Amino acid sequence: MTEWRETTLGDVIEVSHGFAFKGEFFSEGGDARLVTPGNFFEAGGFRDRGDQQKTYDGPIPGLHVLEPGEIVVAMTEQASGLLGSSGLVPSTGRWLHNQRIGRVHIRDRSTSKRFIYYLFNSPGVRAQIAATATGAKVRHTAAERILAVKTLLPGPRAQARIAAVLAAFDELIAINERRIELLEDLARSLYREWFVRFRFPSADRVPANGAVLEGWTRVTLGTVTLQLSRGIAPRYAYDGEWTVINQRCIRNGRVSLAPARNQSRPVADAKRLRRTDILVNSTGVGTLGRVAILFGDGARVTADSHVTIIRAQEQVMQVWLGVSLLERQDELAGMGAGSTGQTELGRDRLGALPVVLPSRPVLQQFSEAVGPLLETAHSLGTYNERLTATRDLLLPRLVTGRLDISDVDLGDLLPAETAA
């Protein structure tokens, strides 16, 4: 087995604080992007926040422009579990080293930067960072506390091999994510082409002045749905046989079962989810109005009472209705009522939502064209969840030496000089 030595992070890295960029120059949509704690996933990894990304249009100190591939660390826990999470600066865009973010410098070239990145996101290192954090409501860490973290470190060859294995998982996950985004963008582009611009295959004219095409009807959501109801009030059990989808499961137009919980109490037939059911987050702030279509096997899957289950009267409507609501998420988010702390999107408001129902032949054509795209995107998403779970299982074992891969043939994952 490869030799491992006990050391501290301070023996192999340095950590520098970011710059306090002035709030008066914060902007949206600018070229210079500020790295904030919101750019980190809980388990590690960098997240570009897209349209919500904070940018900066003021004077920029050159020393605080990050290089692609640099390691950055969240030093403030603005959301539970973020403290100590690390990410790699993307190769696209111009990213700024903001305050509350640590910038990691590798002391010598023999240390693998990628290995250190994975080491930061291992449970042992994250636990030590959390244990030394300060602050009551918002916890913080400091460079000296990070550098004092104790760890085991293998030699350069073992570091490179471990990093290569974990990076292979990340690269495959990223490829699948790009494929998912392409499929979803195509599905929604087809929706806009057919039902906003009215350029569907059998179209012979575009309606003028708010008119409705022959065979199309103005209705409300409630009149075309077989079911429009909230989920259950769950009684959670770790080993329960029913999977319960909650608000955290609905994000970016998709359903992920990773944050779901279980319960064993029987579920009424009306609350049992089926393939292509539409789910809408109906309680809360920030998540209100999020929509997703459930694909895959819905057996023994339900939703909690914060989620509305929508099922069309006819299956031919379901894909069209799901994509239609995905396109109207901002509108749904604005339909909530109640206090700022607990906004509700009630059944009556949802049911009164006006929709223009296309003719049956157009619905059928759209379902046949778009359904397979979303089905494939779902399959890739499920595969990514399994890849992520496997990577997360391997990571702590690899970076601590509990799983020895010194004799594993890694093929083309490594450069020839490293594999030797």
- Kindly report the CA angle at 272 between 268 and 276, in degrees rounded to 5? 155
* pLDDT score of 367: 96
More confident residue, 320 or 3: 320
Nearest CA to 320 out of 353, 284, 362, 279 is that of 362
* pLDDT score of 414: 72
Q: CB–CB of 401/154 below 8 Å?
A: yes
* pLDDT score of 98: 94
* pLDDT score of 420: 43
Q: Could you tell me the residue ranges of all domains in the chain? A: 4-154, 156-205+359-420, 217-357
At 185-211, the pLDDT tens digits run 999 999 999 999 999 988 877 887 778
* pLDDT score of 298: 65
The CATH architecture assigned to 217-357 reads Alpha-Beta Complex (3.90)
Provide the whole-model pTM.
0.87
More confident residue, 85 or 3: 85
- The pLDDT of residue 244 is above 90: yes
More confident residue, 43 or 28: 43
Average pLDDT over residues 382-386: 93
4-154 folds as Adenine-n6-DNA-methyltransferase TaqI; Chain A, domain 2 (3.90.220)
Average pLDDT over residues 69-80: 91
* pLDDT score of 206: 81
- The pLDDT of residue 339 is above 90: no
The DSSP result for 155-169, as a single string, is -HHHHHHHHHHHHHH
Percent with pLDDT over 70 in the chain: 97
Nearest CA to 1 out of 314, 407, 392 is that of 407
Residue 417 banded pLDDT, cuts 50, 70, 90:
very low
* pLDDT score of 418: 52
Domains 4-154 and 156-205+359-420 share a fold: no
Say how far apart CA 328 and CA 307 lie, in whole Å.
17
Residue 106 banded pLDDT, cuts 50, 70, 90:
very high
The CATH architecture assigned to 156-205+359-420 reads Orthogonal Bundle (1.10)
Average pLDDT over residues 78-106: 92
The pair of three-digit structure tokens given for residue 64, joined into one six-digit string: 């605080």
The pair of three-digit structure tokens given for residue 60, joined into one six-digit string: 């920029």
Q: CB–CB of 306/246 below 8 Å?
A: yes
- The pLDDT of residue 1 is above 60: no
Q: CB–CB of 309/231 below 8 Å?
A: yes
Say how far apart CA 415 and CA 219 lie, in whole Å.
62
β-sheet with 94-96: strand ranges across: 26-28, 54-56, 32-34, 94-96
Nearest CA to 146 out of 17, 36, 41 is that of 17
The rounded mean pLDDT for the chain is 91
Residue 413 banded pLDDT, cuts 50, 70, 90:
confident
* pLDDT score of 340: 61
3-state secondary structure of 355: strand
